[in-house]
Structure 1
Amino acid sequence: MRLDEWNALDPAAAERELRQVCVAPRWAQEVAASRPHPDLASLQATAEVALTDADLDEAMAGHPRIGDRTAGGASRREQSGVAGADAEVLDALAEGNRAYEERFGHVYLVCATGRSAQELLDVLRARLGNDAATERAVALAELAAINRLRIARLFDEGAA
């Protein structure tokens, strides 16, 4: 899809497209209502500003665990660095995911694009030391990075 085509969609259709990026309905509605956008950078900037802490829980519910082999679509592509990891790292990621979820009450959210399984594990372990407020802010920043990449892919522009 091209950006001009998305700009011309009715609001409900524009929101549906955005929900492929991030499942948070309030965020999708606000970003869709901000149209038209002259370019991808404008849309990405608006999407980042529109993302609030209120969207985080719903957005995280739409993300699989890092290392989850059943992840599909965008998550599978984004986690491609995990695909070839050895069993020891995958087991450590699974254990780290459990510890993280026990500590923070939600899935470990990280922009996985271009990162190896070991790097994702190292980041997870480091983030386990965060307090809840710091971790929530980190997760929101990671979600913004994920959304930025997914928006680029949605419009096939500069996609990684």
Structure 2
Amino acid sequence: MFYQLRIATEEDAPAINAFLEKGQAKGGVTLAERTTFVVMEDAEGQLVGCLGLEQLSEQEGLLRSLVISDKLGQGHIVSLFQSVQTLGGKIGVDTFYVVANHSSSHDFLALMGFTALENIPESMWVSAHAKEILAKEQAVVLQKKAS
């Protein structure tokens, strides 16, 4: 099946929120100045995946709100990650953080070049989203520096 990646627009916010809630992720997304989403759509224009980038500082960004349809494989998830990182690079982000709440995602994130951090970076605390997910007991912050 054919899938297309694109940068979300403000008009996409309701569909992204519905998709996030369906995937049991937190909705309430607004596509503000410092938060951008990349969406993946199927041939009919239906949302099948999304990943957000919240810019924490000039050079740091938080990858957030990853939700994917069961239609997608690992290669599609890799494409979403690569697209968001490319987007981040275009706006000057060279350090990416992600918070993993499930140990099962650690292996995948390691393959994507992320490494676990011992300490939570100060810049993470500017994000309301990060504060909420960091409050979970099993939360682990991982980092990737652009090469």
Which structure carries more relative contact order (alpha carbon 8 Å, separation 6+)? Answer: 1
Q: Tell me which interval the TM-score lies in, with the shorter structure as reference length.
A: under 0.3
Pair member with larger Rg: 1
Q: TM-score, normalised by structure 1?
A: 0.24
Q: TM-score, normalised by structure 2?
A: 0.25
The structure where strand makes up a greater share of residues is 2
The structure where helix makes up a greater share of residues is 1
